Each structure stands twice: as C-alpha cells, then as structure tokens.
Amino acid sequence: MDVIVDTISFGGKCLYYFLEAFTFKIIPPKRKDVAGEIVLITGGGSGLGRQLAIHFATLRAIIVLWDINEEGNKETCRLIKEMSNVKVFAYTCDCSKRQEVYQVAAQVREEVGNVTILINNAGIVTGKNFLDIPDDMIEKSFAVNALSHFWTYKAFLPAMIEANHGHLVCISSLAGTIGLNGLSDYCATKFAAFGFAESLFFELDLIKKTNIKTTIICPFLINTGMFDGCVSKYPLLLPILEPKYVAQKIIDAILQEKVYCTLPKSASFILYLKQIMAPKMTVAMVKYLGGETIMASFKGRMKPNTLPPETEEKHQ
C-alpha cells in the first residue's frame, strides 16, 4: 500500500515540476536582485573570475576577490573601481590550502560580512597524458579543482544555513561530464566538483534549506589562456568560448536560479547522446568531435617565477 501511495505522490510531483519547467521555458522566472549581496569569487584575479566580478559589480553586489596572484587581484579591483562605486575587497589566498582558506575566510567575515554568493572558479590544468603527469601535480589538481570547494563551503555555508539564504556556484566543466584525452586529472577533479555540488543541492533540499540555491556550470574550453593552443575541430558546433560570453551566461543562470548550465547549448545534446549510446558509439562520437586531438597543441599559460613548466596554475 505504501508503494502505491508513494508512486502516486511521486507521479503527481513529476507532473507538477514538468509543467513548472515547461512554463519557465516560455515565461522565464523573474531575475533575482543581487544588489548588496556579498559575492566571493575564487580565481578573481584574471580570466573568467575577473569577468564575473565586473558583471556582478554592474549589479551593485559587494565583491570579494580571492586569488593566489596578488597583482592580478589588484588589477581586477582597479578595473571595478574605475567603472563604479561598488565595494570591492581583494585577498591573496591559495585555495588549495585548507588552513589558509579558513584563515582568510575568517578575515572576510570580520572585515566584509557573511558571504551570500560563493563562486568556486579557481582551477588548474596540466594537459598531459596520465602516465606523464607527476604525482605531485595530480595531488595539486585535486587540491585546487576539487578539495578547495570543500574548504570554502565549510567556511561559508554555515552562515548561509543559519540565515537560509545564499547561493553556491560551482564552475565545473564539460570535462566534468565526459572524459577527454590528455585531461585525465582535470576531468577527474571536475567530475568530483560536479558531484560534490550536486550532492549538496540534494542535501540542502532534504534539510529544507531551499532558499540556498545551487548552480553548476559546465562550459567547454574558455579562451582565457588556460587552454592556450587547443583548437576545436568543429568551432561552429563546439566553439572555444569567450570569457565575457561565459560570464554573462553564468550571471543569467545565477539570477534565474538555474541548477545546471552547460555551454554552449550544443554540448547539452552531446551529453544526452552519451547517456543513450553504446560505449563504442560514444568513443566514435568523441573522436569525430576532435576529443582525441584537442590537447595535441596545448601550451597553457606560463608565468615566470610561479610554477614549473609541467603545469599551468591559473584560474578559469
């Protein structure tokens, strides 16, 4: 009897949520106001993080920038202050170091306030075949791309739960949904970040903290220098994305409180095909789209006096 009751209830909820989603496709939900919200962006010193900070500044949010690159952080601050009177704060922080995250987070809470929108954007890529990746760089990839999300959530989520207000944004990757040649460690960490964010989405719902929103972003390669040298085989189908475009799409997803955002839209269809095709068909599709050669000309972004030549540590 319980099975029948639960099934009827489940079916009713599915129908309701389907109609709700269909309605939102026709009439998009009202975009929320983020003026006065405290937005913390890891990797805010350049690339996508900088573009996100600039976009949020135009919406009159209070901006908190974290980056391992102090000079890059200062430059983002300068750009924001030139364009608006928005409050912006910059902190040098290595997100891969747990205690450093906790220490700087405490400083942010004291000097700025409780973070209400957290965007985990910092990331690194090695761009080597699995057996060519040094062990320490595999550990570093996990520390920056995945474990740092645990530490920032531990630092800022409790205040969000207490207030039942906040927004958690995970910048994963298309490589966090499908494996790619030459990106074994990167894919693994982005899969981990995606799974962690999705798990918390369900967990927050179960504890009835539904006013804490979750958005998971899965973009294709972004033209920030992080994947310098990579070329898309079919740019009309899978273009290398421009940071301003991606930042605007992320802002739209946050303001509309979308849970998932895959860029470009064509990637969503590719992921759907992956779910329904036989494994060998998936391999054939990945090869057709250039997945086996996309990293062949990878260079990455190198900065003097930062990291050894086998890696690129910068932010999306």
Catalytic residues: 186
Residue type for position 30:
K
DSSP output for the chain: -HHHHHHHHHHHHHHHHHHHHHHHHHSPPPPPP-TT-EEEEETTTSHHHHHHHHHHHHTTPEEEEEES-HHHHHHHHHHHHHH----EEEEE--TT-HHHHHHHHHHHHHHT---SEEEE-EEEE----GGGS-HHHHHHHHIIIIIHHHHHHHHHHHHHHHHT-EEEEEE--GGGTS--TT-HHHHHHHHHHHHHHHHHHHHHHHTT-TTEEEEEEEE--BTTTTTTT---SSTTTSPPBPHHHHHHHHHHHHHTT-SEEEESHHHHHHHHHHHHS-HHHHHHHHHHTTTTTTTTT------TTTS-TT-EEEE-
- Judge whether 230 and 297 are in contact, CB under 8 Å: yes
- Judge whether 127 and 181 are in contact, CB under 8 Å: no
Written as six digits, the tokens of 136 are 């320490």
